[in-house]
Amino acid sequence: MAAIVFDSVCKNYGAKPVVNNFSLTVNDREFVVFVGPSGCGKSTTLRMLAGLEAIDSGTIAINGRVVNDVPPKDRDVAMVFQNYALYPHMTVFDNMAASLRWRGADRAAIREKVLAAAKILQIDELLDRRPHQLSGGQKQRVAMGRAIVRQPAVFLMDEPLSNLDAKLRGEVRTEIIKLQRNLKTTTVYVTHDQTEAMTMGDRIVVIRDGVIQQVADPLTLYLSPQNTFVAGFIGAPAMNFLPAETQWIDEFCWLNLLGVKLALPAGLQSVVARHPYRQLTVGIRPEYFRLADDPSLAETFSVRVVLSEMLGADTIVHCDHNDQSVVVKLSGQFSFRSGEVVHLSVDKSRINLFAAHDGNLLT
């Protein structure tokens, strides 16, 4: 059993609040990902959990025990860092065995644990090598192995994949997911990469300037982001944010969007009716546009192509409409000339409405 409870945790550097009133429960066996832009306080929060950074106010509890004043070695957590921090003069075996030796475990037990972890990570052939004889992905697995042999209550990982190339990052990502599913160790994982967050986390915590913006499973974050910050951070290419104005005619709400009058679908009618705002920000993901079958039909947007990028399976088309940029993702291969006018329709059931003045989702 290892649940983690952050209760109103704050941390300032000088006068600057870096982590602000952070409250979160990570359930036993859960894989939770902290995601947010550089400098938003992810590492600081993780380091407070590991005991490497003091907490200014609030409490952190692991397994029901408040650990604010518990030294790192007594918290039963193992941390994997971005730079692996392997001992260069030691073999892979010794790197993995080091923490067990410090604890005074006996030789046979150490050997057994290291071999078992090495087998899981498929590095059993590499145990006699030194770090400089390993690839980035292999070093990464050794760093994971060092954490696994300790059989901690909690794994903490701070951007452990950021030194790897794109292909390897994908592979090791899958390995970490499988490993965590097998070991069922409660894990907090930090990244600024939204793809990692979406693919790895049972739940994702989106952080901005030290403040939690939303905590949810990946699909909920994708479909119902609480504000334009979360909406813009999750998903690539990013969601389009388009200014629009509501217009009520006989109890029915229309949206004036990109020069088109759009009938709001039933579900969104009741949403806008609950709010007094006329100025909205409409969130439309690039993949919710498609080429219009018949440009003469109502609710067809006409935009001008600025740049078209064929990515293989998809084509990303950067367009504009009266200086408002609109990014469209079409499945399949297309090549548009720059300046060409294309006609689009939108999947209205998938759009998100935010209040223009504060960017919060209308619910």
Ligand X SMILES: Nc1ncnc2c1ncn2[C@@H]1O[C@H](COP(=O)(O)OP(=O)(O)OP(=O)(O)O)[C@@H](O)[C@H]1O
> Which residues contact ligand X (rule: CB under 6 A)?
13, 18, 36, 38-44, 192
Beta carbons of 109 and 53 less than 8 angstroms apart:
no
Backbone angles phi, psi at 181, to 5 degrees: -65, -40
Q: 44 vs 226, which CB is nearer to ligand X? A: 44
Instruction: Report the nearest approach of Mg ion to the CB of residue 70 (Å).
Output: 23
Q: Which does 318 bind (CB under 5 to 8 A by kind): Mg ion, ligand X, none?
A: none
Q: Which does 214 bind (CB under 5 to 8 A by kind): ligand X, Mg ion, none?
A: none
Tokens of 290: 């498609």
Q: Which does 321 bind (CB under 5 to 8 A by kind): Mg ion, ligand X, none?
A: none
Q: Fill in the DSSP letter of residue 126.
A: G
Instruction: Report the nearest approach of ligand X to the CB of residue 155 (Å).
Output: 17
Q: Which does 18 bind (CB under 5 to 8 A by kind): ligand X, Mg ion, none?
A: ligand X
Q: 39 vs 243, which CB is nearer to ligand X? A: 39
Instruction: Report the nearest approach of ligand X to the CB of residue 42 (Å).
Output: 4
Tokens of 274: 């609950």
Q: SS in 3 state form for 219-230?
A: HHHHHCCCEHHH
Q: 209 vs 299, which CB is nearer to ligand X? A: 209
Residue 129, helix vs strand vs coil: coil
Tokens of 219: 């699909």
Number of residues that bind Mg ion (CB under 5 A): 1
Instruction: Report the nearest approach of Mg ion to the CB of residue 30 (Å).
Output: 21
Q: 43 vs 228, which CB is nearer to Mg ion? A: 43
With b for 16 or more beta-carbon neighbours within 10 A and e for fewer, the 191-215 pattern comes to bbbbebbbebbebbbbbbbbebbbb
Instruction: Report the nearest approach of Mg ion to the CB of residue 17 (Å).
Output: 17
What residues from 18 to 57 belong to the interface with Mg ion (CB under 5 A)? 43
Q: Which does 13 bind (CB under 5 to 8 A by kind): ligand X, Mg ion, none?
A: ligand X
- The DSSP code sequence of 72-115 is GGGS-EEEE-TT----TTS-HHHHHHHHHHHTT--HHHHHHHHH
Q: 41 vs 201, which CB is nearer to ligand X? A: 41
Q: 55 vs 330, which CB is nearer to ligand X? A: 55
Instruction: Report the nearest approach of ligand X to the CB of residue 74 (Å).
Output: 23
Beta carbons of 286 and 328 less than 8 angstroms apart:
yes
Neighbours of 123 (CB within 10 A): 22
Q: Which residues bind Mg ion (CB under 5 A)?
A: 43
